[in-house]
């Protein structure tokens, strides 16, 4: 590679076709910037997507891109990664694509620990099909298909991932440049299945659904940005902290200034802590952002090649294999 | 021809395959038909738990597992009850008397012992207390009673090998290897084998049991081996990878009767084959597509119900113009149907079964050894035209075995992949869709190639630039392009040959897939006494070979026997405008030669055969 690439070099000439004001624009910018910052090689980078607004993403990134079918991106990306583990394979999906029609593939990609960087744009609604409730929509969400309010229990992407055995779970907000940028860099460096839930605002069908914790003026009190080895504090000047209550086995919010020693220190390898952090909801708790869980293990592709002793290279000949049994000669 | 039958836990399939190994080494031709229940271990002694293995052996060209067995070995009353209707009068029936107890008879649904009701009068009944004789033979090895009882399949095998004049060496060697680490089991089974063989030789049975020595077959010179369809298919895929100099990733989800292919390929890593067992059928086809996208030959496999699930993804591969091989081991249906029984009923699904106008090439294998050739052909077409290709096999082919002249790898042309045209001024997107004029296959540009980054997907694309296009004229052009691409396969495949008979005549018997053996034999036998009958077996089902229409027009009548309700018949009417006579069977069992002969003879016998094909050919 000659000159270092900039974010612009990772943008295609395609006209971007999301609604004006859609959170996807901010995510696209953050991703192209992150790719440039980490020095990604465009020819060794692949974006695989399913179907939905989010899944248009590959058309706008100047790397290899494959816009596939609804829900199946993790399965297709698994084949891409197995065939060439040297590639950086990103999966772009949404709450409907990844957790409804494609829930099974997401589950298995995560539990196998396939080296996929999975960006799940969660806007709690089906945008491309004009606004029906999705598997992450909160109870009572009124949509054309749920005029009286939705009544099926929503799923939490992070908790789903943890239950599936994911070993990297992170969260970010679409318009939070530094927060999303840091998470994308961490994802890029990670080998194995990584799930990033990005809270993405759908300005047309579900505007401000995350307002309770994304609103700038109150953000300090409604968000907590977690960092491995750092105290779990939030609020103005880190005035509040999270404490583990052993009696209830729950987190509680405490005054960090008066009892700094009681504030938990974030341990990204602790799955139990990850579960507690992922479960926190506004307004009672701040919403956890950043790398919540990172506990590396051998990736699926590494195990695959370890178990395919010849690394998919041909060391034998078919002519010999054909005779690897009892044979007889007719004269 | 003989048929072993017993409980699915009796080791009947193992006994059959061992008998075949010995037959192969003795130089006899053979064809086999394993016939087993869907339940792994159905309740012992019941009729629905009966597993059977049929072997046809001898000196002539043997292309089917045979119609009516001359020898039946029935391990219990249920096996006798299920298999007796298959026998002709006079057949030899060996029964294991130890199992003919009140309880055994009741489980099989016999009110009375069939040996006493006269229902076996027309057969040569040989009663042997296999269980007791086996237990005696293996007594010195100190096995538990149940382990000792399990040796009875080798006891019976020993007796059958004597009956067919074959020696025990091959089986003994196999047992030595199989139970290398278990002395008592190995020695007990060898002892049982010898005891059964010796039993056959003893004077007291010599009169009752005729020795049916199988004579050596007349084979073309060369090196042979025995092969099952799934083995030949696996080796064929590996061979295709070798010919294309590409690795191959086989992505599959377990399903009967397709799983043996997964098992075979899992052992071919040294031939550049990777195996990925996906979470479901959809993930299997999708990961295969992902592998193809990355420059590895992606192959997926299933049976009818699983192929149905893969349908949407196959459409994606058509739209994205990616190579993919989809192998369908057909079984009886619809739905779960008859998982272990054979049928040819997925031809419609392969040719017509997708949303929108989404054509794909379709090929079918006709015999276990032919699976090798067809696998290479399927990969060749997929890579040349950059398209999914269907390869149809079936439950019968997957498990059946035959002697096979080992192919000479040097005789196969390398499989070319489409290279990238050097056009410096073109952008990568249009370079990726710069299709070859003859095959309409686009170059196989894969991630990792510098300067050629482009985007593909399932949205309609501009015919020239490859960018997304919703233009109506462009969609019309792309639909024509996809049709023309598949049609162009016909420019690369050989003309349709005739397997038996002349290139014109009164009746053409036309088939496809695993019915080859039965059709070939039936027509060959008729041709000895009748003129004007030919057998034509089609490998390339979509598109048809260019000469097929003209060839079939040279016959007064076209008869299409199929193990479905007339799917090739429909295809011939649709694509060639032919009128055809159907002969359909969907019992889950292969065709019998006799039933085919009867039907064809009837047609031949009809006075003044009407010309079905219109037009004057005088």
The pLDDT tens digits of the residues spanning B397-435 come to 988 888 899 999 999 999 999 988 767 677 899 999 999
pLDDT of the residue at B354: 96
Mutation site for B-interface testing, chosen from A16, A322, A327, A329 by largest number of B Cβ within 10 Å: A322
pLDDT of the residue at B160: 83
Q: For residues A36 and A26, give the distance between their C-alpha atoms in angstroms, rounded to a whole number.
A: 16
Burial A73-110 (b: 16+ CB within 10 A, else e): bbbbbbbbbbbbbebbbbbbbbbbbbbbbbbbbbbbbb
CA angle B432, B437, B442 (to 5 degrees): 25
pLDDT of the residue at B213: 54
C-beta atoms of A75 and B290 within 8 A: yes
C-beta atoms of A326 and B224 within 8 A: no
Q: For residues A306 and B179, give the distance between their C-alpha atoms in angstroms, rounded to a whole number.
A: 29
**Fold of domain B2-206:** Pyruvate-ferredoxin Oxidoreductase; domain 3 (3.40.920)
Say whether pLDDT at B201 is over 80.
Answer: no
ipTM attached to this prediction: 0.97
pLDDT of the residue at B32: 81
Mutation site for B-interface testing, chosen from A90, A315, A330, A331 by largest number of B Cβ within 10 Å: A330
C-beta atoms of B448 and A87 within 8 A: yes
Average pLDDT over residues B60-84: 83
C-beta atoms of A67 and B457 within 8 A: yes
User: What six digits make up the tokens of A226?
Assistant: 């977690």
The answer to whether the bond into B607 is cis (omega within 30° of 0) is no
pLDDT of the residue at A119: 98
Average pLDDT over residues B124-143: 87
pLDDT of the residue at B272: 97
Shortest CB distance from B409 goes to which of A69, A80, A319? A319
Say whether pLDDT at B168 is over 90.
Answer: no
C-beta atoms of A59 and B289 within 8 A: no
Query: How far A58 CA lies from chain B's nearest CA (Å)?
Result: 7
Least trusted range by pLDDT, from B41-55, B205-219, B253-267, B358-372: B205-219
Average pLDDT over residues B101-129: 86
C-beta atoms of B224 and A42 within 8 A: no
**Fold of domain B225-411:** Rossmann fold (3.40.50)
pLDDT of the residue at B204: 54
Shortest CB distance from B409 goes to which of A66, A81, A318? A318
Tell me which residue has tokens 């907590």: A224
> DSSP secondary-structure letter at A62?
S
> Which stretches in chain A have pLDDT values below 50?
1
Q: Determine the residue of chain B that is closest to A86 in CA distance.
A: B448
pLDDT of the residue at B608: 42
Tell which B residues from 143 to 202 touch A, by Cβ distance under 8 Å. 170
pLDDT of the residue at B211: 55
Average pLDDT over residues B40-56: 80
pLDDT of the residue at B614: 36
Shortest CB distance from B447 goes to which of A44, A107, A309? A44
Q: For residues B223 and B408, give the distance between their C-alpha atoms in angstroms, rounded to a whole number.
A: 10
Are the C-beta atoms of residues B322 and B288 closer than 8 Å to each other? no
**Of A127, A152, A132, which Cα lies nearest the Cα of A142?**
A132
> DSSP secondary-structure letter at B63?
-
pLDDT of the residue at B218: 67
Helix (H, G, I), strand (E, B) or coil at A204: coil
Q: Which residues pair with residue A172 across a beta bridge?
A: A198
**Of B375, B370, B372, B413, which Cα lies nearest the Cα of B297?**
B375
Return the H-helix or E-strand segment holding A125.
Answer: strand A125-126
- Is residue A263 domain-resident? no
Query: How far B217 CA lies from chain A's nearest CA (Å)?
Result: 10
Q: For residues A112 and B8, give the distance between their C-alpha atoms in angstroms, rounded to a whole number.
A: 35
Q: What mean pLDDT, rounded, does chain B reach?
A: 89
pLDDT of the residue at B9: 73
The answer to whether the bond into A283 is cis (omega within 30° of 0) is yes
Which domain covers residue A110, as residue numbers? Answer: 7-209+298-306
Are the C-beta atoms of residues B463 and B481 closer than 8 Å to each other? yes
Average pLDDT over residues B327-341: 94
C-beta atoms of A308 and B269 within 8 A: yes
Sequence-distant (6+) residues with CB within 8 A of B237 are B248, B250, B265, B273, B297, B299, B325, B375, B379
Q: For residues B9 and B5, give the distance between their C-alpha atoms in angstroms, rounded to a whole number.
A: 11
C-beta atoms of A80 and B293 within 8 A: yes
C-beta atoms of B453 and A42 within 8 A: yes
CA angle A264, A269, A274 (to 5 degrees): 60
Least trusted range by pLDDT, from B31-35, B149-153, B304-308: B31-35
Determine contact: B270 vs chain A, CB below 8 A.
Answer: yes
Sequence-distant (6+) residues with CB within 8 A of A212 are A222, A282, A283
- Is residue A160 domain-resident? yes
CA angle B550, B556, B560 (to 5 degrees): 80
Average pLDDT over residues B263-272: 96
Determine contact: B258 vs chain A, CB below 8 A.
Answer: no
Query: How far B77 CA lies from chain A's nearest CA (Å)?
Result: 36
pLDDT of the residue at B250: 98
Give Cα separations from B585 to B128, B450, B582, B599 (angstroms). Answer: 37, 55, 10, 12
Q: For residues A159 and A169, give the distance between their C-alpha atoms in angstroms, rounded to a whole number.
A: 9
pLDDT of the residue at B613: 39
**Of A256, A237, A251, which Cα lies nearest the Cα of A287?**
A251
Say whether pLDDT at B207 is over 90.
Answer: no
Q: For residues B474 and B464, give the distance between their C-alpha atoms in angstroms, rounded to a whole number.
A: 9
Are the C-beta atoms of residues B162 and B201 closer than 8 Å to each other? yes
What would the pLDDT profile of B14-23 be if each residue is shown by its tens digit? 888 788 777 7
Say whether pLDDT at B615 is over 70.
Answer: no
C-beta atoms of A327 and B224 within 8 A: yes
Q: Which residues pair with residue B246 across a beta bridge?
A: none
Domain count of the fold of chain A = 1
Q: Which residues of A touch B450 (CB under 8 A)?
A: 43
SS (H, E, C) B327-357: EEEECECCCCCECCCCCCCCHHHHHHCCCCC
- Is residue A89 domain-resident? yes
Sign of the alpha-carbon torsion through A156, A160, A163, A166 = negative
Domain positions in chain B: 2-206, 225-411, 428-491, 505-605
Tell me which residue has tokens 């597992």: B65
Q: Which residues of A touch B242 (CB under 8 A)?
A: 314, 317-318
User: What six digits make up the tokens of B315?
Assistant: 């459409």
Percent of chain B with pLDDT over 70: 94
Strand order, beta sheet including B29-35: B29-35, B50-58, B2-7, B71-74, B92-96, B124-128
Percent of chain B with pLDDT over 90: 57
The answer to whether the bond into B396 is cis (omega within 30° of 0) is no
Burial A205-224 (b: 16+ CB within 10 A, else e): bbeebbeebbeeeebbbbbb
SS (H, E, C) A165-186: CCCEEEEEECCCHHHHHHHHHH
Q: Which residues of A touch B468 (CB under 8 A)?
A: 59
Determine contact: B459 vs chain A, CB below 8 A.
Answer: yes
Strands (E), B481-554: 505-512, 533-538, 540-542
**Of A163, A166, A270, A283, which Cα lies nearest the Cα of A226?**
A270
Determine contact: B268 vs chain A, CB below 8 A.
Answer: yes
Tell me which architecture the domain covering B505-605 has in CATH.
3-Layer(aba) Sandwich (3.40)
Q: Which residues of B touch A82 (CB under 8 A)?
A: 249, 274, 276, 287, 290-291
pLDDT of the residue at B209: 53
Q: Which residues of B touch A316 (CB under 8 A)?
A: 270-271
**Of B391, B349, B364, which Cα lies nearest the Cα of B516?**
B364
Are the C-beta atoms of residues B163 and B205 closer than 8 Å to each other? no
Task: CATH number of the domain at A178, please.
Answer: 3.40.50.970
B505-605 and B225-411 share a CATH fold: yes
Query: How far B444 CA lies from chain A's nearest CA (Å)?
Result: 13
Strands (E), B102-247: 124-128, 222-228
C-beta atoms of B286 and A68 within 8 A: yes
pLDDT of the residue at B612: 42
Q: Determine the residue of chain A that is closest to B273 in CA distance.
A: A312
């Amino acid at each position: 590679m000659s000159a270092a690439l900039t974010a612009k070099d990772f943008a295609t000439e395609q006209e971007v076709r999301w609604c004006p004001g859609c959170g996807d624009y901010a995510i696209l910018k953050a991703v192209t910037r992150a790719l440039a910052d980490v020095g990604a090689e465009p020819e060794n980078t692949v974006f695989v997507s399913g179907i939905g607004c989010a899944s248009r993403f590959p058309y706008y990134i100047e790397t290899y891109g494959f816009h596939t079918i609804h829900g199946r991106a993790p399965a297709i990306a698994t084949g891409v990664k197995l065939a060439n583990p040297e590639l950086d394979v990103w999966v772009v999906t949404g709450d409907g694509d990844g957790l409804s029609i494609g829930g099974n593939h997401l589950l298995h990609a995560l539990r196998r620990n396939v080296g996929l960087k999975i960006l799940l744009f969660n806007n709690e609604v089906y945008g491309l099909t004009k606004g029906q409730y999705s598997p992450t929509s909160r109870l009572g969400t009124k949509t054309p298909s749920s005029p009286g309010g939705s009544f099926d229990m929503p799923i939490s992407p992070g908790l789903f991932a943890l239950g599936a055995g994911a070993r990297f779970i992170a969260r970010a907000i679409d318009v939070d440049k530094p927060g999303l940028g840091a998470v994308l860099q961490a994802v890029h460096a990670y080998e194995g299945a990584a799930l990033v839930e990005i809270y993405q605002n759908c300005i047309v069908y579900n505007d401000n659904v995350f307002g309770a914790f994304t609103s700038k003026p109150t953000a300090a009190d409604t968000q907590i940005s977690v960092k491995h080895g750092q105290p779990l504090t939030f609020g103005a000047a880190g005035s509040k902290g999270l404490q583990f209550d052993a009696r209830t086995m729950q987190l509680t919010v405490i005054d960090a200034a008066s009892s700094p020693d009681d504030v938990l220190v974030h341990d990204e390898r602790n799955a139990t802590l990850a579960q507690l952090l992922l479960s926190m909801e506004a307004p009672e708790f701040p919403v956890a952002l950043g790398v919540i869980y990172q506990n590396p293990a051998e990736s699926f592709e590494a195990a695959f090649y370890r178990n395919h002793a010849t690394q998919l290279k041909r060391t034998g000949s078919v002519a010999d294999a054909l005779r690897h049994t009892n044979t007889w000669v007719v004269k | 021809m003989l048929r072993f039958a017993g409980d699915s836990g009796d080791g009947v399939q193992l006994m059959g395959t061992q008998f075949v190994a010995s037959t192969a080494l003795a130089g006899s031709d053979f064809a086999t038909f394993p016939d087993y229940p869907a339940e792994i271990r159905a309740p012992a002694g019941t009729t629905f738990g009966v597993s059977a293995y049929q072997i046809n052996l001898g000196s002539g060209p043997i292309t089917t597992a045979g119609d009516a067995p001359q020898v039946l070995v029935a391990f219990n009353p249920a096996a006798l009850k299920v298999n007796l209707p298959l026998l002709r009068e006079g057949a030899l029936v060996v029964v294991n008397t130890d199992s003919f107890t009140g309880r055994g008879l009741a489980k099989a649904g016999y009110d009375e012992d069939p040996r006493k009701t006269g229902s076996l009068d027309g057969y040569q009944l040989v009663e042997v207390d296999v269980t007791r004789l086996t237990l005696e033979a293996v007594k010195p090895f100190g096995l538990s009673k149940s382990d000792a009882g399990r040796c009875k399949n080798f006891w019976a095998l020993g007796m059958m090998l004597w009956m067919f004049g074959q020696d025990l060496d091959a089986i003994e060697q196999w047992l030595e290897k199989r139970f290398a680490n278990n002395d008592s089991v190995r020695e007990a089974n060898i002892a049982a084998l010898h005891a059964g063989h010796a039993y056959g030789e003893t004077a007291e049975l010599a009169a009752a049991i005729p020795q049916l020595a199988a004579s050596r077959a007349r084979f073309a010179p060369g090196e042979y081996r025995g092969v099952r369809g799934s083995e030949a298919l696996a080796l064929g895929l590996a061979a295709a990878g070798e010919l294309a100099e590409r690795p191959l990733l086989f992505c599959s989800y377990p399903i009967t009767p397709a799983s043996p292919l997964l098992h075979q390929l899992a052992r071919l890593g040294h031939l550049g084959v990777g195996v990925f067992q996906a979470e479901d059928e959809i993930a299997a086809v999708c990961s295969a597509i992902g592998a193809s996208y990355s420059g590895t030959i992606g192959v997926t496999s299933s049976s009818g119900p699983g192929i149905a699930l893969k349908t949407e993804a196959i459409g994606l591969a058509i739209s994205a113009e990616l190579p993919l091989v989809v192998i369908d081991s057909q079984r009886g249906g619809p739905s779960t149907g008859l998982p272990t029984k054979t049928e040819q009923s997925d031809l419609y699904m392969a040719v017509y079964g997708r949303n929108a106008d989404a054509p794909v090439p379709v090929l079918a294998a006709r015999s276990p050894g032919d699976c090798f050739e067809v696998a290479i052909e399927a990969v060749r077409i997929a890579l040349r035209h950059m398209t999914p290709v269907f390869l149809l096999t079936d439950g019968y082919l997957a498990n059946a075995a035959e002697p096979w002249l080992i192919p000479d790898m040097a005789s196969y042309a390398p499989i070319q992949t489409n290279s990238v045209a050097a056009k410096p001024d073109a952008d990568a997107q249009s370079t990726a869709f710069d299709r070859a004029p003859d095959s309409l296959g686009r170059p196989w540009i894969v991630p990792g190639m510098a300067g050629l980054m482009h985007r593909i997907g399932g949205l309609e694309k501009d015919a020239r630039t490859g960018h997304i296009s919703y233009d109506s004229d462009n969609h019309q052009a792309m639909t024509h392009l996809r049709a023309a691409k598949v049609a162009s396969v016909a420019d690369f495949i050989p003309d349709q040959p005739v397997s038996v008979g002349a290139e014109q005549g009164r009746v053409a018997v036309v088939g496809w897939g695993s019915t080859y053996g039965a059709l070939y034999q039936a027509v060959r036998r008729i041709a000895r006494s009748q003129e004007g009958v030919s057998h034509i077996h089609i490998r390339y089902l979509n598109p048809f070979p260019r000469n097929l229409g003209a060839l079939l027009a040279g016959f007064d009548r076209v008869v299409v026997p199929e193990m479905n309700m007339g799917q090739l018949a429909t295809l011939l009417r649709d694509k060639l405008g032919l009128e055809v006579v159907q002969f359909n069977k969907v019992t889950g069992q292969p065709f019998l030669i006799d039933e085919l002969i009867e039907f064809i003879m009837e047609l031949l016998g009809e006075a003044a055969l009407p010309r079905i094909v219109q037009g004057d050919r005088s």
